[in-house]
Amino acid sequence: MKLKLGARGSPLSLAQAKLVTESLAGLAEVELVVVKTTGDRLSAAGSPIEWKGDFTRELDEALLDGRIDFAVHSMKDVPTHVPDGLLLAAVPVREDPRDVLIARPRRNFESLPRGARVGTSSPRRRAQLLAARPDLEVLEARGNVDTRIARLAEGRFDAIVLARAGLSRLARLEEVSEVLSPGLVLPAIGQGALAIYARRDDRSTLSVLDALDDAASHHEAEAERSLLSTLEAGCKAPVAGLARVNNGSLTLSAGVFSPDGSSALREESAGPVSEAVSIGRDAGQKLLGRGAAALIEAART
């Protein structure tokens, strides 16, 4: 069977596509189709990303008009609303979802000097870094992984914070100074997971992609995306969540933060994996009951 796989042209997206292609060896012959997205253009120009769909819209369109048979995304880039006619077909085994610190010279978070310049483009990371260390100067760091590490080497920052999963897929884990615990920096929704989308009515493709789906990773993604949907938070809101499956149970740690890190709300919900969506909704409602909506609105404005 021959299938066309759509992916963005970024180094990370191409690495993800290669991983998926290798996983389908023996099941399908895969042709890579590179699709340039609005998010790619904005990122290349150093412009802020206003909507998660900027990284997925053109791939969704290519799927719906039949130019590709399936698409691979970073789960954290995918909006919670699934376009009509499409389906989250598979979530492969999830990479380590934690964030990491890369510092020059190599040192851990606690040993960064007072006033150290830390680069990140994520409001979520910024809020949690400042909550832990108000003395830090947290600066915007845009561009892909290679660009951010290059700017660190140039001396624009003393450290940067990135997702461990992306560095792993790019074979750059040797750059890491410290893996940050979720107690310090709770990861983004879906971080470390891949989202594979296909047309809902394309039964032959869905049958092949089913071999890639990891049940535990899929349930974790469902819980985290349900949390995000309940909070009605966009990509600018400092919202975090991490679901973990263990022996048939799922535990979700969730957080909403003020942009400056001065306020932090954390909650936890748990239950059987079959209730992943309900667990995410429960955590979100707990946070809303404690004033999360005001923190989310503050981030938007």
Collapse the DSSP code of 157 into the 3-class scheme (helix H, G, I; strand E, B; otherwise coil) and give the result.
coil
Collapse the DSSP code of 135 into the 3-class scheme (helix H, G, I; strand E, B; otherwise coil) and give the result.
coil
Ranges of beta strands (E only) in the chain are: 2-7, 29-34, 70-74, 86-90, 99-103, 117-119, 137-139, 159-163, 178-179, 194-199, 239-246, 249-257, 264-272
How many alpha carbons fall within 13 Å on the CB side of residue 39? 23
Collapse the DSSP code of 212 into the 3-class scheme (helix H, G, I; strand E, B; otherwise coil) and give the result.
helix
Positions annotated as catalytic residues are: 77
Question: Sign of torsion, CA 173 182 152 95?
Answer: positive
Hey, what amino acid is at 272? P
Q: What is the C-alpha to C-alpha distance for residues 98 and 106, in angstroms, rounded to an integer?
A: 19
Q: What is the C-alpha to C-alpha distance for residues 146 and 167, in angstroms, rounded to an integer?
A: 10
